[in-house]
Amino acid sequence: MSDDQRDRLLPFRLEGKFLGFITDGYGIPKYLQLEIETGNLSIKLAKQLRFKLGLSLQPNDWLEVVGEKKLKSKTGELRWKADRVNHLTASESNSVENKIKIVACYQSGCLKKGASRLLSNLERTLHEWGLSDRVVIQATGCLKRCSQAPNLLLKPGNVRVNGMTPEVIVVTLLDTMRTTAVLNQASSIE
Ligand code: FES
């Protein structure tokens, strides 16, 4: 099997702030730069998006970006490619801020220990449990627990997660959501 055949393709959906484009030799946008909570990403644009987005996006626009990420089996490098880019309204972006987040380490230590497979199973479980629209998965750097990889962080609460099945992670997530709701309720009464 060739390296290309071993590379793994996974769907992604990100929300973040548009920073700008990286253009090709003709000045046409080729990559968009997106700021997410854990850093900046360069995401390659599908050819049919390039010209249209070059005319319509402004820095600081809040975007939903959907596509596929490719995990290079040989290097552990992750490449992002967008097939769909949508503007989010102010109210939608506020709701993004309020969502529960699963922050996942995407460094080589966690990728080698199965982070990508765990996250795609987790995405499927969130979908099956009807939680996809309430939870966002975001990439981050090393969480400094490489020996226990793959590592995740649930926010709010900064609950560290490792060694759990997707189902147990979702149950932990539901606990976090309930605790957050109770705390929010208490602070609104004060
Ligand atoms: S590489 Fe993932 S915690 Fe260090």
Q: Which residues have C-beta atoms less than 6 Å from ligand 1? A: 105, 107, 109-110, 142-143, 145-146, 149, 151
Whole-number Å distance, alpha carbon 147 to ligand 1 midpoint, is: 8
Q: Which tens digit of pLDDT belongs to each residue from 67-120?
A: 888 887 777 778 899 999 998 876 666 555 567 888 889 888 898 898 888 988
Helices 115-128 & 166-189, crossing angle to 10 degrees?
60
Q: Is residue 188 part of a domain?
A: no
Q: Is residue 53 part of a domain?
A: yes
Q: Which tens digit of pLDDT belongs to each residue from 115-132?
A: 888 988 888 888 888 777
Of 145, 160, 162, the residue with max ligand 1 atoms within 8 A of its CB, to mutate for a pocket test, comes to: 145
**Which residue, of 22, 57, 88, is where some domain finishes?**
88
List % helix, strand, coil for the chain (3-state, nearest 5): 35, 35, 25
Structural domain harbouring 15? 3-88
51 and 20 in a common domain = yes
Q: Is residue 189 part of a domain?
A: no
Pairing of strands 29-36, 39-45: antiparallel
**127: domain CATH number?**
3.40.30.10
By alpha-carbon position, which residue is closest to atom 1 of ligand 1?
A: 109
d(CA 178, CA 104): 21
The pTM score is 0.53
75 and 17 in a common domain = yes
d(CA 122, CA 151): 13
